[in-house]
Homo-oligomer: A and B are copies of this chain.
Amino acid sequence: MSALPPGSTIGILGGGQLGRMLSLAAARLGLKCHVYSDVPGGAADVAAASTVAPYENTNAVRAFAGSVDVVTYEFENVPLAAAAAAGEAAPIRPGPKALAVAQDRLKEKSFVSALGIPVAPFAAVDDDASRDAALLAIGESGILKTRRFGYDGKGQVRIRNAAELAPAFETLRRAPSVLEGLVPFAYEVSVLVVRSLAGEIRTYDIPLNTHKDGILDTSTVPSPLPPAHAARASDIAGAIATALDYVGVLGVEMFYLPDAPEPLVVNEIAPRVHNSGHWTMDACLTSQFENHIRAVAGWPLGPTGRHSDVTMTNLIGHDVDHWQALAAEPDSALHLYGKPDARPGRKMGHINRLKPRT
């Protein structure tokens, strides 16, 4: 349980913007980073070392892990074989259990549900028989989602009536899927919870999230969530983190149904720093990135309090072309990820617009 001293090296699987912001946070603490990614990316520009190799190359993963003091990751789809190979040479935090659960929607929903925490109604769709059974169990409208590799609205099809399910399953190439019932939520919130190596839990204030084209658009704190429900949401996230024996930041997306007997329904968990926590970079003394690094390095957690109100807005695709105007906005902090091509749907940066705390 000893803390890694300054000068130690954090290995990060994944070289995108989350790995980049983790590296920047580690550097503040005098920690080095080594980024492992299957493609060159912006994280390597701010890391002391980088490896570019396939995640399937377990020898390369093992050598990488052998050169660092702890391994963490910026995305939940790290192949389990890569995580296992890394784990042979260094501690991996969060642990493989979080990965295994979060990589598979069916396992994830079953796991959360087994903790007594509400999730949307769900049923497995693996073949024609289970497809038809799911329709009976869930009803005629819902969302068919692949069990694996879905993100930002990818790998999912909306179902409006019974006749749409079969073609949707074909659209998803008959990949093992889950049919989810629709939840009549008022809005979505998310809990950023961090759990230390010693098991201490801290949560950030809870943002209200809005989406555009299936991608997170804004996260705003404070959310209108009533205090009792906010406390319940934090407890739910903490219970999931503890059940996973989790170390680091965990993002838990929830639907809010103000008048339902169970007003908070878990939508999805992300075993990593989360886009809906990017506002913590400018409205908190310790960002989600620094607290993730602190946790995986065995350090004491930093404060999760908030000194300002804030709305984080993602810059997607060509939104980033307006960088000069965005950089000139008062009371704002602009973050750009150093990606060369502003492709549609690509997260290029974000802007945090702050106001004095209400």
Chain B residues, Cβ within 8 Å of A199: none
B residues near A6, Cβ cutoff 8 Å: 320, 323, 336, 338
Complex contact A299–B285 (CB within 8 A): no
Contacting B at CB under 8 A, from A18-58, are 20, 23-24, 27-32, 44-48
- Compute how far the CA of A23 lies from the CA of B45 in the bound complex, rounded to whole angstroms: 10
If A24-B24, A30-B337, A45-B48 touch, whether A327 touches B307 (CB-CB below 8 Å) is no
Interface flag for A300 (CB, 8 Å) = yes
**Residues A314-335 near B (CB distance < 8 A):** 320, 323-324, 327-328, 330-335
Instruction: List, in ascending order, chain B residues with CB within 8 A of A45's CB.
Output: 27, 32, 47-48
- A3 is an interface residue with CB less than 8 A from chain B: yes
Write out the residue numbers on chain B whose beta carbons fall within 8 Å of the beta carbon of A282. 285
Q: Does A327 contact B294, Cβ atoms closer than 8 Å?
A: yes
Across the two chains, which residue of chain B brings its CB closest to A331? B303
**In the complex, which range does the number of interface residues on chain A fall in?**
35 or more
Query: Is A16 interfacial (CB-CB < 8 Å)?
Result: no
A266 within 8 A of B: no
Considering only CB atoms, which chain B residue lies closest to A337 in the complex? B30
**A333–B32 CB distance below 8 A:** no
Minimum CB–CB distance for A270 against chain B, Å: 23
Assess whether A300 is in contact with B320, with CB atoms less than 8 Å apart.
no
A299 cross-chain contacts in B, Cβ below 8 A: 324, 327
Once the chains are docked, how many angstroms separate the CA of A299 from the CA of B324?
7
A7 within 8 A of B: yes
Q: Mark A274-316, 1 if CB is under 8 A from B, else 0.
A: 0000000010011000000010000110110101100000000
When the two chains form their complex, are residues B28 and A24 in contact, meaning their CB atoms are under 8 A apart?
yes
> Which residue of B is nearest A6, CB measured?
B336
B residues near A323, Cβ cutoff 8 Å: 5-6, 30
One of B5, B24, B300, B320 near A46 (C-beta < 8 A): B24
Within the assembled complex, what's the spacing in Å between the Cα atoms of A6 and B302?
31
| In contact, A27 and B20 (Cβ under 8 angstroms) | yes
Cβ–Cβ < 8 Å partners of A31 in chain B: 338
* Central interface residue in A7, A23, A46, by most chain B CB within 10 Å: A46
Query: 9 extra interchain contacts, Cβ-Cβ under 8 A, other than A282-B285, A285-B333?
Result: A5-B323, A28-B334, A30-B336, A30-B338, A44-B48, A285-B332, A294-B327, A307-B307, A307-B308
Closest 10 CB pairs of A and B: A30-B336, A300-B328, A45-B48, A30-B338, A6-B336, A27-B46, A46-B46, A285-B333, A300-B327, A299-B327
Interface residue ranges, A against B (CB under 8 Å): 3, 5-7, 20, 23-24, 27-32, 44-48, 282, 285-286, 294, 299-300, 302-303, 305, 307-308, 320, 323-324, 327-328, 330-340, 349, 354, 356
